[in-house]
């Protein structure tokens, strides 16, 4: 069997590698020539534990090859980004472009699967597009939606072990997609229709966003009330039916901070809670930036000199190199803008170089700084010694108690 993966990003690349590892012949297609070149050398362009070794193996064995154009295959998977436009409306133009690219290669009996997070109805839309481009294939190809559910940082395990929801445009398509995913997924494959599968993905990430918003709201209340929010949550979670998540510097990444808008833009009146959760999680990053700016001002008034400030972490969550939609990056930019004349040290242990931010070693920054703001709870930061001399703004529970 041969599969063509359109998109070798944070999800497409690991999935292509795992599929190739299961014996499927894989061609991975990406518009970025650097990604194609690196993949063909067996080098991954993302940080993901364990993935490098697997990539080298499947490239050496000839099971995975990358290119900028698709090749005739039996299965085509669309794993490209779905960002949103300025007004938070989903932008499915990459899904559409990838669909157009594979259309000439499709033949009778082939399977076409969308994995990209998509607004409800996208799979049907792409089916209609394919039939418009290749009318002779109507009713002769299988089309399904199967959202990915993996957590960056634990991708290999989750790709193989997580349950998957698979929804075809008809039951034959669902069955065909189930047969494909059986090659490399050990979790249960749940059958549904395409619209429900699309909605399921949006529901999962919106649900997490709402839950994090609750934790972030608690952190704002606790800050005013003089209560340690980490201790509070730990205690509340001792209740057998309470399970509160952790507050942080906001919600980032290309999933949780984006997907709820796919619902709020299309169902604005029905999605009040989802909408409010987005507002709270966005506000949390703004609030953190204000806290840092106030601390700088207070330090100046007390010590009659500008403080050295360390901003610890830039990625959107702990122990990864991914800066997409990162609240830490937003906070850093905002503080740099507003406190341009202050000595600000920026730290991100998972990134070597950044085109905009000059990065500093985390131990050096921590030692030098008068004010330390933890924006991401990277594992390295947890090993730093407590220092009562410094002003510590711990937005994500590095030192918890
Ligand atoms: N965060 C908190 N507090 C928490 C948990 C997370 O503030 O208690 C923040 C993180 O710091 C980060 C953001 O939320 O900024 C999102 O991180 P995450 O770990 O919750 O999720 P992602 O974006 O890495 O992955 C999510 C996952 N979805 C769910 O857990 C429902 C993953 O399974 C999906 O595959 C992925 O989105 C996706 O691709 O959609």
For 346, phi then psi, to 5°, come to -110, 135
Say whether both 117 and 234 belong to one domain.
Answer: no
38 within domain boundaries: yes
Strand order in the sheet with 189-193: 64-67, 25-29, 2-6, 75-78, 111-114, 142-145, 164-168, 189-193
How far, in Å, are 3, 81, 380 from residue 97 at the CA level? 18, 11, 41
Q: Dihedral sign, CA of 82, 116, 198, 193?
A: positive
- Residue 328 pLDDT > 80, yes or no? yes
**Average pLDDT of the chain?**
96
Say whether both 163 and 237 belong to one domain.
Answer: no
**Exposed, middle or buried by CB within 10 Å (0-12, 13-18, 19+), for 174?**
buried
| 250-271 pLDDT tens trace | 999 989 999 999 999 999 999 9
CATH number at 373 reads 3.40.50.720
Say whether both 187 and 332 belong to one domain.
Answer: no
Closest atom, ligand 1, to C-alpha of 204: 31
Q: What's the rounded Cα separation, in Å, for the pair 130 and 135?
A: 8
Does residue 245's CB lie within 6 angstroms of at least one atom of ligand 1?
A: yes
| Closest C-alpha residue for ligand 1 atom 28 | 205
Contacts with 332 (C-beta within 8 Å, 6 or more apart), sequence order: 311, 314, 346, 357, 375
Say whether both 196 and 232 belong to one domain.
Answer: no
pLDDT at residue number 125: 98
**Exposed, middle or buried by CB within 10 Å (0-12, 13-18, 19+), for 249?**
buried
Which residue is it, tokens 């085109």? 355
pLDDT band at 206 (very low <50, low <70, confident <90, very high): very high
400 within domain boundaries: no
Does residue 148's CB lie within 6 angstroms of at least one atom of ligand 1?
A: yes
Does residue 317's CB lie within 6 angstroms of at least one atom of ligand 1?
A: yes
Domain with 65, as residue range(s), is 2-202
- Report pTM: 0.93
Q: Which of 150, 176, 175, 153 is nearest to 163 (CA)?
A: 150
Say whether both 103 and 181 belong to one domain.
Answer: yes
- Distance from the CA of 15 to the center of ligand 1, in angstroms? 19
- Residue 61 DSSP class: T
280 within domain boundaries: no
pLDDT at residue number 16: 98
Say whether both 196 and 291 belong to one domain.
Answer: no
- Distance from the CA of 142 to the center of ligand 1, in angstroms? 31
ipTM exceeding 0.85, yes/no: yes
| Catalytic residue set | 201, 255
Say whether both 162 and 247 belong to one domain.
Answer: no
| 304-317 pLDDT tens trace | 999 999 999 999 99
pLDDT band at 146 (very low <50, low <70, confident <90, very high): very high
Spatial contact of 306 and 300, defined as CB atoms under 8 Å apart: yes
129 within domain boundaries: yes
Say whether both 48 and 187 belong to one domain.
Answer: yes
- Distance from the CA of 239 to the center of ligand 1, in angstroms? 24
- Distance from the CA of 179 to the center of ligand 1, in angstroms? 29
Does residue 204's CB lie within 6 angstroms of at least one atom of ligand 1?
A: yes
Does residue 158's CB lie within 6 angstroms of at least one atom of ligand 1?
A: no
Closest atom, ligand 1, to C-alpha of 201: 40
pLDDT band at 147 (very low <50, low <70, confident <90, very high): very high
207 within domain boundaries: no
Say whether both 198 and 233 belong to one domain.
Answer: no
Closest atom, ligand 1, to C-alpha of 10: 39
Beta strands in 53-158 (DSSP E): 64-67, 75-78, 111-114, 142-145
Say whether both 235 and 183 belong to one domain.
Answer: no
Mean pLDDT within 138-159 = 95
pLDDT band at 401 (very low <50, low <70, confident <90, very high): low
Q: Last residue of a domain, which of 167, 202, 237?
A: 202
Say whether both 187 and 325 belong to one domain.
Answer: no
Q: Last residue of a domain, which of 168, 202, 236?
A: 202
- Distance from the CA of 267 to the center of ligand 1, in angstroms? 23
| 39-84 pLDDT tens trace | 999 999 988 899 999 999 999 999 999 999 999 999 999 999 998 8
271 within domain boundaries: no
Looking at the structure of the chain, the number of domains it has is 2
Say whether both 120 and 88 belong to one domain.
Answer: yes
Spatial contact of 370 and 344, defined as CB atoms under 8 Å apart: no
51 within domain boundaries: yes
**H-helix or E-strand spanning residue 276:** helix 272-303
Does residue 248's CB lie within 6 angstroms of at least one atom of ligand 1?
A: yes
159 within domain boundaries: yes
């Amino acid at each position: 069997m041969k599969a063509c993966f359109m998109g070798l990003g944070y999800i497409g690349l690991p999935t292509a590698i795992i599929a190739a590892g299961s014996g499927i012949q894989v061609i991975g297609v990406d518009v970025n020539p650097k990604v194609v070149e690196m993949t063909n050398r067996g080098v991954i362009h993302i940080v993901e534990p364990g993935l490098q070794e697997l990539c080298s193996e499947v490239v050496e064995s000839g099971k995975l090859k990358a290119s900028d154009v698709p090749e005739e295959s039996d299965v085509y998977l669309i794993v490209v980004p779905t960002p949103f436009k300025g007004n938070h409306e989903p932008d499915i133009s990459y899904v559409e472009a990838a669909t157009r690219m594979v259309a000439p290669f499709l033949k009778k009996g082939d399977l076409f699967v969308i994995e990209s997070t998509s607004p409800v109805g996208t799979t049907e839309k792409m089916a209609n597009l394919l039939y418009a481009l290749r009318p002779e294939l109507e009713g002769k190809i299988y089309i399904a939606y199967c959202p990915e559910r993996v957590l960056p940082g634990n991708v290999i395990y989750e790709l193989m072990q997580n349950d998957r929801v698979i929804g075809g445009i008809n039951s034959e398509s669902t069955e065909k997609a189930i047969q494909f995913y059986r090659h490399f997924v050990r979790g249960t494959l749940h059958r549904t229709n395409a619209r429900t599968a699309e909605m399921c993905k949006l529901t999962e990430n919106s649900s997490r966003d709402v839950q994090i918003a609750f934790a972030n709201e608690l952190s704002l209340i606790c800050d005013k009330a003089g209560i340690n929010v980490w201790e509070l949550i730990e205690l509340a979670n001792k209740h057998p039916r309470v399970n509160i998540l952790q507050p942080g510097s906001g919600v980032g990444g290309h999933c949780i901070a984006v997907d709820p808008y796919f619902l709020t833009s299309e169902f604005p009146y029905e999605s009040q809670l989802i909408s409010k959760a987005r507002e709270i999680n966005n506000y949390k990053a703004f609030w953190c930036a204000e806290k840092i700016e106030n601390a700088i001002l207070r330090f100046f008034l007390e010590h009659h000199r500008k403080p050295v400030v360390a901003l610890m972490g830039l990625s959107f969550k702990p122990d990864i190199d991914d800066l997409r939609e990162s609240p830490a990056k937003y906070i850093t930019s905002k503080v740099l803008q507003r406190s341009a004349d202050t000595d600000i040290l920026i730290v991100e242990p998972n990134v070597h170089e950044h085109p905009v931010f000059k990065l500093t070693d985390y131990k050096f920054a921590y030692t030098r700084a008068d004010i330390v703001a933890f924006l991401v709870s990277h594992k390295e930061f947890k090993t730093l010694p407590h220092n009562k001399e410094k002003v510590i703004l711990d937005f994500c529970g590095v030192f918890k108690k």
